Amino acid sequence: MTQTSQPVASHFISGQYVEDDAGARIDVIYAATGEKIAHVHAATPAIVEQALAAAKAAQPAWAALTGTERGRILRRAADIIRARNRELSELETLDTGKPLQETLVADATSGADALEYFGGLAASLTGEYIPQPGGDFVYTIRQALGVCVGIGAWNYPTQIACWKAAPALACGNTMVFKPSETTPLCALRIAEILTEAGAPPGVFNVVQGMGEVGAALTTDPRVAKVSLTGSVPTGRKVYAAVAAEMKHVTMELGGKSPLIVFDDADLDNAVSGAILGNFYSTGQVCSNGTRVFVQKGIKEAFLERLAERLDHAVIGDPLDEETNFGPMVSEAQLAIVERYIAQGIEEGARLAYGGKRVIRPGNFIQPTVFADVTDAMTIAREEIFGPVMAVLDFEDEEEAVTRANDTEFGLAGGVFTQDLTRAHRVVASLEAGTCYINHYNLAPVEAPFGGVKASGVGRENSKEAIHHYSEVKSVYVAMNDVEAPF
């Protein structure tokens, strides 16, 4: 295991691996065993400088290629990722602890989708012609921003790197990407693959480190844009730090999203949606619908069906393809989840399922369901980022929507009902950037993804992302003499 997961070196700059072992050592721990599987060193100021200088130097020539040329490289990278899906999925599992059953279909594949989608779009990123009176006209030029910094969370290291790199590079930007210190391995492999696909040196660089490396990158004057995937507290810090220089930002932050199940819903589908929205990736998904509002009449039936289904969770070795529920990413995250479970019990919620550590090596905890949760309880207000579902009862639609919106977050929201008009009415009222009707947590690259309120700024994926990685220059062209007042 050690041989396959130890990277050649910690950083990837100008098309090659770079090391500076003066940087603090960061051990990579396999979440399923507690075993050390690799290490990297945090970027020193010299490494940060090297990466930013490389990205800055590479940007004009990269932007000067045609969109077709840039797109071809991104699409070639997508093909390489697909061809190496198993190897990349295994690395994702080692980096995060997520079951291979998931990573084989959700991570490298989603990264490849992004590279393919934005690779396809790159050639069509054109300006507009805007006619004016007397034959004058305005045209617009869609321009790259310059050097972009991407900063990742630990739950989807391959996907996050690709979701940021693909639109950034398609628009003619270059990028310095800092993965989470908890999962430093996957982004390096993406940098290797982009280089193999033909990305010139400096176009996509990876540097490792903790928050201070992220802070050094984001505040550098050469950086035009920062795209962060992380928690709301980190988002507030990064947003404030870059505001002074008016940099562009995308903030993909946390959530405490509502999933509303009406009594006319197809119960099995609703239970499936709640499972996907709480227990996929062991609950470590930003858009999870962790406040499940269930209409009173079906509450007990819902809880019963849910418990039956959870009995079928296969908890174990994530590299075994039968396993569908893995460990928490780290001991620290496990401790946070255990604290929230204890708090749920203390504050009077009913522990309806799970709640205990699984006795085996690694950071395993059972899928956990609390019933009789009320809005003021900590487990209904704060993002836990683990497999803990809070089930809350409600009487009617208006009450459900009001309570669903009573949160600082606004990432996602879902509704299960057979009533078409109600479904559309409810999602129209939800204060959330990404909504689902009769499903949960799908994130196709063709659709915008992102949050409102404290959950974020900007959108990833879809044509929307182009607006966040480019800006428009407007050029007025006069075809007539200039009339001046004197």
How far is Cα 352 from Cα 373, in angstroms, rounded to an integer? 11
Q: Which of 252, 338, 383, 397 is catalytic?
A: 252
360: Cβ–Cβ under 8 A, 6 or more apart, which residues? 316
Q: Which of 164, 178, 225, 256 is catalytic?
A: 164
How far is Cα 445 from Cα 201, in angstroms, rounded to an integer? 27
Residue 177 found at the interface with ligand NAD (CB under 6 A): no
Q: Which is nearer to ligand NAD, 64 or 447 (CB)?
A: 447
Q: Which stretch binds ligand NAD (CB under 6 A): 60-68, 118-126, 186-194, 228-236?
A: 228-236
Q: Which is nearer to ligand NAD, 237 or 357 (CB)?
A: 237
Q: What is the number of the residue whose Cβ is closest to ligand NAD?
A: 214
Query: Cβ–Cβ contacts within 10 Å for residue 403, how many?
Result: 18
Question: What string marks each residue from 244 to 263 as x (binds ligand NAD by CB under 6 A) or -?
Answer: --------xxxx--------
460 belongs to the catalytic site: yes
- Amino acid identity of residue 317, one-letter, is D
- Amino acid identity of residue 314, one-letter, is V
Q: Which stretch binds ligand NAD (CB under 6 A): 35-43, 230-238, 312-320, 369-377?
A: 230-238
Residue 230 found at the interface with ligand NAD (CB under 6 A): yes
Residue 158 found at the interface with ligand NAD (CB under 6 A): no
Residue 403 C-beta: closest distance to ligand NAD, Å: 21
Q: Which is nearer to ligand NAD, 27 or 87 (CB)?
A: 27
Given a contact cutoff of 8 angstroms between Cβ atoms, the answer to whether 111 and 164 are in contact is: no
Residue 363 found at the interface with ligand NAD (CB under 6 A): no
Residue 93 found at the interface with ligand NAD (CB under 6 A): no
Concatenating the DSSP letter of every residue in 145-167 gives -SEEEEE--SSSHHHHHHHHHHH
Residue 88 found at the interface with ligand NAD (CB under 6 A): no
Instruction: Indicate which single residue of 214, 258, 277, 355 sits in contact with ligand NAD (rule: CB under 6 A).
Output: 214
Residue 327 found at the interface with ligand NAD (CB under 6 A): no
Instruction: Indicate which single residue of 10, 96, 103, 218 sits in contact with ligand NAD (rule: CB under 6 A).
Output: 218
Please give the DSSP secondary-structure letter assigned to residue 386: S
104: Cα separation from own chain's centroid: 17
3-class DSSP state of 401: helix
Question: What string marks each residue from 373 to 402 as x (binds ligand NAD by CB under 6 A) or -?
Answer: ----------x-x-----------------
CA angle 474, 477, 481 (to 5 degrees): 145
Residue 151 found at the interface with ligand NAD (CB under 6 A): yes
Instruction: Indicate which single residue of 227, 229, 290, 295 sits in contact with ligand NAD (rule: CB under 6 A).
Output: 229
Residue 182 C-beta: closest distance to ligand NAD, Å: 6
Given a contact cutoff of 8 angstroms between Cβ atoms, the answer to whether 72 and 40 are in contact is: no
Given a contact cutoff of 8 angstroms between Cβ atoms, the answer to whether 33 and 360 are in contact is: no
Phi-psi region of 66 (alpha: psi -120 to 50; beta: other; left: phi over 0): beta
Number of residues that bind ligand NAD (CB under 6 A): 29
Concatenating the DSSP letter of every residue in 38-58 gives EEEEPPPHHHHHHHHHHHHHH
3-class DSSP state of 88: helix
CA angle 110, 112, 115 (to 5 degrees): 115
H or E element: which one contains 470? strand 470-477
Token couple for 125: 């990123």
Q: Which of 90, 186, 286, 383 is catalytic?
A: 286
Token couple for 259: 């999933």
Burial of 311 (0-12, 13-18, 19+ CB in 10 A): exposed
Residue 411 found at the interface with ligand NAD (CB under 6 A): yes
286 belongs to the catalytic site: yes
Residue 312 C-beta: closest distance to ligand NAD, Å: 27
Instruction: Indicate which single residue of 50, 110, 180, 368 sits in contact with ligand NAD (rule: CB under 6 A).
Output: 180
Residue 238 found at the interface with ligand NAD (CB under 6 A): yes
Q: Which of 116, 338, 397, 460 is catalytic?
A: 460
Question: What string marks each residue from 106 to 145 as x (binds ligand NAD by CB under 6 A) or -?
Answer: ----------------------------------------
Residue 210 found at the interface with ligand NAD (CB under 6 A): yes
Instruction: Indicate which single residue of 51, 168, 185, 286 sits in contact with ligand NAD (rule: CB under 6 A).
Output: 286
Residue 282 found at the interface with ligand NAD (CB under 6 A): no
Q: 361-397 as b/e, with b when 16 or more CB fall inside 10 Å?
A: ebbbbbbbbbbbbeeebebbebbbbbbbbbbbbbeeb
Q: Which residues are catalytic?
A: 164, 252, 286, 460
Residues that bind ligand NAD (CB under 6 A): 151-155, 178, 180-181, 210-211, 214-215, 218, 229-231, 234, 237-238, 252-255, 286, 383, 385, 411, 451, 456
